[in-house]
Chains A and B, each alone.
Chain A
Amino acid sequence: MSTTAPSTERNGYTSWLLAPGVFWMILFLVAPIMMIVYVSFWTQTTFAINSTLTLDSWKNFFSSEAYVGALWTTLRLWLIVLALTFIIGYPAALFVGLLVKSKTVSTVLLVLCVIPFWTSFLIRVLAWRPMLGKEGAINIILQELGLIDSPIEVLLFSELSVIIGMTQIYVVFMVGPIAFMLGRIDRNIIEAARDLGAGFGRIFWKIIFPLSLPGVVVGAIFVSVMVLGEFATSGALSGRKVNLLGNIIVTQVGSLKWAMASVVGVILTILLGIVVAGFLRIVDLKSEL
């Protein structure tokens, strides 16, 4: 009896500790997402919306070239930014996480990478404007160096500027997890492989890369979730030329077309679900971390 009494008391204690957080998430996270699914089947009239169920908004989405186009643009930009963050981020992570011998230097470099994350997201987006513009820093530098005669106009207010901006903003989320996994590799394995005569290429592909894969997957999930849900960077750096699913949601809500916004919301949710589930199939994160 003396053992069961405190145990049930502690169980009660656990549920009291969890209840507020769980209720908060059900009420303000799960219910809103359910609501998006539900409202996507509502009937939209010019200025109002009512709960008569219909497939009209769904039909509208798939019959509109602009909306389906936004879906493809989103997918294309996501793949490009994902690939770029990986290609640009991996060598940096390799240096910071594995090649730097001193723990202090590695920490300092990592902190240097993370610091921009503490500043305003919108200011970081905006900072690309004086960089990429027709009279921007990059064009001026290239002209001074004599590499180009006239400014490159495609740098700003194009798909390219959105890709550059997103890559710079999100690459840190790729570097962090990869550097973390690389830092945990037992250096003795690499030493042993080298002693047995393996070259760096072989060591990299046989040991280093497979061991860093969970970091790549976590980084890819972070980047994917953020890029797929983006609308601010594409809005601010493309001059409204690049429309992602997120941009459609914003404009639809702006004109009180809640049902259409919800359809796009559901499509985005499904897309995210597929992408995240796909990445989680590559490695079993629970056993790796």
Chain B
Amino acid sequence: MDSKLLKPVLAVYVAAFILFLYGPFIVLGILSFQQGPEGGPQFPIIEWSTYWYRHLFGLTPPSRIAPLPVGEALLRSLTLAFMTMVTATVLGVMAAQAFRRRFKGAGIVFYLIVLGMMVPGVLTGLGTSLLANNVVGVERHWWTTAFVAHVVYTFPFAFLVMLAILNRFDGSVEEAAWSLGVSPARTFRKVTFPLIFPGVLSAMLFAFTLSFDEFPRTLFASGRDQTLPLAIYGTFSVEIHPNIFAFGVMTTLFSFSLLAIYGILMGLSVRRAKKIAMQEDIS
């Protein structure tokens, strides 16, 4: 086959591929502007309206369609994601820092950590709830059992991100600090951490978004109170209305604003690093 022909053909293919990835989302977005409350979750659009968005925030007169139970669930999910983010990032930075030096059993420890992201959520969820229910005898809550399961899932991501960053990191600056008699802890705070901060930011973004969206582990391990994904899942079994589409659009916007914040912070830290480097060059 001629490669001159191949490239345009594949370009068209990739366009179709991206349409395949985004198609359902575009349809969902369009249908979220369906007329309410009579308009159903399908075409045609009877009349364009923002009814379902107002419905989501409780700004519409009461109708037969109950508002989504998202208020408290959102708060829980945000808290859980924040707790997970902090714990997973701290564990990830520590473990990756340890991996910069050779030590016995490094291979086993590496696989043990990576296992956390590879084992399907349905298994970790089941195991965690078995352990809590039948051995330890504690009640399952989103802030106890679900939290530890979330960290098991996100810690490997934080660890791998940090490992990639630290691999490219020049150790001689630290050695300089050590040889000047600065303690390892202080060296880490004053020298290493500022240099690896972009990596830490990425690890935090991973941990937060993965936990915020986590579903299978939470389903088993969270007990009575619902997190946001559980609340969404609850609506699956009943008849769906365009309010869940409007909600999908809102969560997507939320994810994108997280990405934007990450991008801004990243840009700022890179610029600061450049500034410092330039100052050093001048002096």
Contacts and interface: CB of A to CB of B under 8 A. Distances in A.
Interface stretch (B19-27, B52-60, B196-204): B19-27
Interface stretch (A53-61, A64-72, A87-95, A209-217): A87-95
A198 B45 CA distance: 55
B113 A25 contact: yes
Nearest to A6: B178
23 contacts: A21-B94, A21-B159, A24-B152, A29-B116, A29-B127, A31-B127, A35-B131, A35-B135, A36-B123, A36-B130, A94-B10, A99-B10, A112-B18, A112-B21, A123-B28, A126-B28, A225-B120, A231-B122, A232-B215, A236-B236, A253-B126, A262-B130, A265-B123
Given A22-B95, A32-B127, A250-B122, 8 more contacts: A17-B95, A24-B152, A27-B148, A34-B127, A118-B256, A130-B43, A131-B27, A229-B122
Contact of A229 (B95, B101, B120, B155): B120
A14 B101 contact: yes
B268 to A, nearest CB: 20
B131 A92 contact: no
A30 B127 CA distance: 9
Contact of B229 (A17, A99, A122, A199): A122
A89 to B, nearest CB: 8
B51 to A, nearest CB: 17
Contact of A39 (B10, B101, B134): B134
Which of A112, A122, A226, A230: most chain B Cβ within 10 A? A122
Nearest to B235: A126
Question: B interface, by DSSP: helix, strand, loop or mixed?
Answer: helix
Contacts of B189: none
**7 nearest A-B residue pairs (beta carbon):** A229-B120, A32-B127, A127-B24, A17-B98, A123-B248, A95-B10, A127-B28
Interface of A: 10-11, 13-15, 17-18, 20-22, 24-36, 39, 49, 88, 91-92, 94-96, 99, 109, 112-113, 116, 118-124, 126-131, 133, 135-137, 140, 168, 171-172, 199-201, 221, 225-226, 228-232, 235-236, 246, 249-250, 253, 258, 261-262, 265, 268-269, 272, 276
A123 B251 contact: yes
B126 A24 contact: no
B255 interface: yes
Contacts of B31: 130
